[in-house]
Chains A and B, each alone.
Chain A
Amino acid sequence: MKAPLGLFRKRPRSGDAPGSADERAGFRIRIDPLTKARIKRFTQIKRGYWSFIAISSLLVLSLVAELFVNSRALVVNYEGKLYFPTYARVFLGQEFGLDYKYETNYRELKETLKENGKGWVILPPVPWNAYEQDFIEGEYPPNAPSAERRHFLGTDIIGRDVLARLLYGFRTAILFALLYVTATFLIGTVIGALMGYWGGPFDMVFQRLIEIWERIPFLYVVMILGAIFKPNFLLFIGIFVVFGWSGRTWSVRAMTYRERERDYILAARAMGASTLRIIGVHIVPNVLVVILTSLPFAVSGAISSLTALDYLGFGLRAPTPSWGELLSMGIAQYEAAPWILASIVTAMTFVLVTIAFVGEGLRDAFDPRKHTVYR
């Protein structure tokens, strides 16, 4: 009798775990069949599914970008000892028998070791990081793409590798977007659900507050604040979240209004469930659809607005690799260095379209009515 019952828990538990009943409730709820069916339907929507795989592998790749695009070597063998500089401390030139006390230039080290035979170096496929400038004698940057110098997409106007800027810029943008979207969705869902569940004066006050809040021209405020505070990455997310959460409340509020009139909410109240439990266990899982389907579109929106701000020069501080900066540089130099504009436009189009496909696939998979296609 125990065994089959145990199956509706996510994992078996021994004895009584500490913590309130409410905290423990989360562990028992496994993925319900409705959600399973939706996930299955999503995997059957090929375009969305493959886009999802593409964008998530790109995300994972960008998180370990140091292994592919980096000025530090992957492996150094010096006098029989192995070094892995990518994720290790900074190795000074002295330590590899060079005559300087700052960080080793591994591209030079590779040449030196080849000549003196004291070891070898394995460099990443693109041995440049996003900040260093490559000055070629007799030439002025921007330099055209060259496989020989390992600038596969050329360099920008001050000699930095475009591919490195692109990849690290993507990492900045997507992490920014994900953090921003997670934070706004959390805040928006909680406040929206409370507005819908409590209704009355709370709802009324927050509705008016949000209406006023949303009239504030967001980008201008970001520019002004950006000019005052010189924001770093986290502060920047903070500013975005402060102005971004309100838009997420409406749909959750409306859905909660619908759900709270249903008998199962009354039943939960009749058994004495707390507001926290009713919202967390009963309402949110049932309104999650609207949240989830709008998520990818919010991510691409966030990437676009960050790029727009960077493009205008009000975004993240200068040497940070950013798409907006590349875009403005590309447009300014499109005759002298068409590879910059070509790279950034291709990358942006690919990422934004892919995310839109994921969103479309999710929406189709989650909407039982299916979306009508007008031709």
Chain B
Amino acid sequence: MNEARTIIETRGLVQHFAQGRFFGRSVVHALNGVSLTVREGETLGLVGETGCGKSTLARAVMRLYNPTGGQVFFDGIDVTRLPERKLKFLRRSMQIVFQDPADSMNPRLPVGYIVEEPLIIQTRMTDRERRERVAELLTDVGLDPSASMRYPHEFSGGQRQRIAIARALALKPRVIVCDEPVSALDVSVQSQVLNLLLSLQKAHGLTLLFISHALGVVRHMSDRVAVMYLGTVAELADSKAIYESPRHPYTKALIAAIPSTDPTARKDRRQYSGEVPSPLVKPVGCPFKSNCPIKVARCETEKPELRELAPGHQVACHLA
């Protein structure tokens, strides 16, 4: 796995959003310097609590936002400042599946058109070729080709997410960014969609950037996991290492909070109290300082950078 080439790399990615217009203008610090790499063919899981910048990272990588600072590389090419018209090639190789399939499809278009649209935009395929491809795609995600005549609202959540996956696959991308693809679904349907993603990944050699706040789901899906906290990466390591030997105090607290299926097993629960600091305030020092059980004076002033503590295990903590 280590020798696989890097397909996506972010270097110090910063994304701020302005809030308010003239008076009381404030800045939301959604990403504060995120550096990570995604290797070809792997699944990188991205976990973190609500509002920590997971979705922002996904959209910034997709260039749906214009990053405030830092760089995004796709296959070695800096795509950070490319104008929209030159981004078309990036769009072909990188697609996204959104959290809420009901919202990610135009309710006024038939499913066939929704899946076909990327082909219309990006390819010179004929009508017939596109129609055949749509049928093929729908079959691939386990739907009947006749679904193309119907409209999104006629499908269940799980089926809609399959349609969204079919649309993402239409251009044969190399990377699919999955922005919490199952968190809007029933638990019973979640595993079906997850396994579909895994089998499609195997069949097409896809790279997945898989975002979720469900730790169990991420463990099931990912080769490596990045833990995010308040717009930064706290820890990045192989899935096994994250779950079995977390080094960052935040990761430790997260892992400890996973409910055990064994009622007799007692864990050393690290309580962490207090609120997540507001992203409106410009962060100084370690983002986790206000909740950290082991913080020292240095954490108040100096922001910890990601350090490689073991091969492939990066932690952003002064004390780890």
Contacts and interface: CB of A to CB of B under 8 A. Distances in A.
Contacts of A286: 106-108
A272 B92 contact: yes
B96 A267 contact: yes
Interface of A: 1-2, 4-8, 13, 15-17, 21, 24-25, 28-30, 32-35, 262-264, 266-274, 277, 281-282, 285-286
Contacts of A268: 106, 117
B231 interface: no
B279 interface: no
A8 B96 contact: no
B105 interface: yes
Contact of B98 (A267, A277, A282): A267
B91 interface: yes
Interface string B268-305: 00000000000000000000000000000000000000
Contact of A25 (B64, B110, B120, B145): B120
Contact of A267 (B92, B104, B131): B104
A28 B108 CA distance: 12
A263 B104 contact: yes
Contacts of A264: 103-106
A270 B100 CA distance: 16
B88 A34 contact: no
A282 B114 CA distance: 11
Interface in B114-134: 117-118, 120-122, 126-128, 131-132, 134
B232 to A, nearest CB: 24
A29 B106 CA distance: 12
A262 B121 CA distance: 20
B135 A1 contact: yes
A264 B114 CA distance: 10
Given A270-B95, A274-B121, A281-B109, 20 more contacts: A4-B148, A5-B112, A5-B149, A8-B148, A16-B126, A21-B120, A28-B113, A29-B113, A32-B108, A32-B151, A33-B151, A34-B108, A264-B104, A264-B105, A264-B106, A267-B167, A271-B117, A271-B167, A272-B91, A272-B92
A39 to B, nearest CB: 14
A17 B148 CA distance: 22
Mostly, the B contact residues are helix
Nearest to B109: A29
B113 A5 contact: no
A1 B167 CA distance: 19
B91 to A, nearest CB: 4
| 10 cross-chain pairs, A with B, having the tightest CB-CB distances, nearest first | A272-B91, A263-B104, A271-B118, A8-B110, A16-B126, A32-B108, A263-B98, A263-B103, A21-B120, A8-B112
A33 B117 CA distance: 20
B20 to A, nearest CB: 14
A272 B88 CA distance: 5
28 contacts: A5-B131, A5-B134, A8-B113, A13-B127, A15-B127, A16-B127, A28-B113, A29-B109, A32-B110, A262-B103, A264-B105, A266-B59, A266-B96, A267-B96, A267-B98, A267-B105, A269-B64, A270-B91, A270-B95, A271-B91, A271-B95, A271-B118, A272-B122, A274-B121, A277-B121, A281-B117, A285-B108, A286-B108
A96 B164 CA distance: 75
Question: How many B residues touch the partner, as a band?
Answer: 35 or more
A126 B106 CA distance: 54
B68 interface: no
Mostly, the A contact residues are helix
A206 to B, nearest CB: 15
Nearest to A274: B121
A29 B114 CA distance: 11
A27 to B, nearest CB: 10
B227 interface: no
A264 B106 CA distance: 6
B126 A21 contact: no
Given A1-B145, A267-B98, A267-B104, A21 B110 contact: no
B127 A270 contact: no
A8 B149 contact: yes
A13 B64 CA distance: 34
A266 B78 CA distance: 22
A342 B88 CA distance: 66
Which residue of A2, A28, A35, A277 has the most chain B CB atoms within 10 A of its CB atom?
A28
A271 B149 contact: no
Contact of B107 (A5, A21, A29, A34): A34
A261 to B, nearest CB: 10
Interface string B160-187: 0000100100010000000000000000
A223 B279 CA distance: 57
Contacts of B118: 271-272
Contacts of A282: 106
A5 B145 contact: yes
Nearest to B147: A4
Given A1-B135, A5-B134, A8-B148, A272 B104 contact: no
Nearest to B59: A266
A286 to B, nearest CB: 6
A271 B126 contact: no
B146 interface: yes
Nearest to A270: B96
B82 interface: no
B225 interface: no
Contacts of B91: 270-272
Contacts of A35: 108
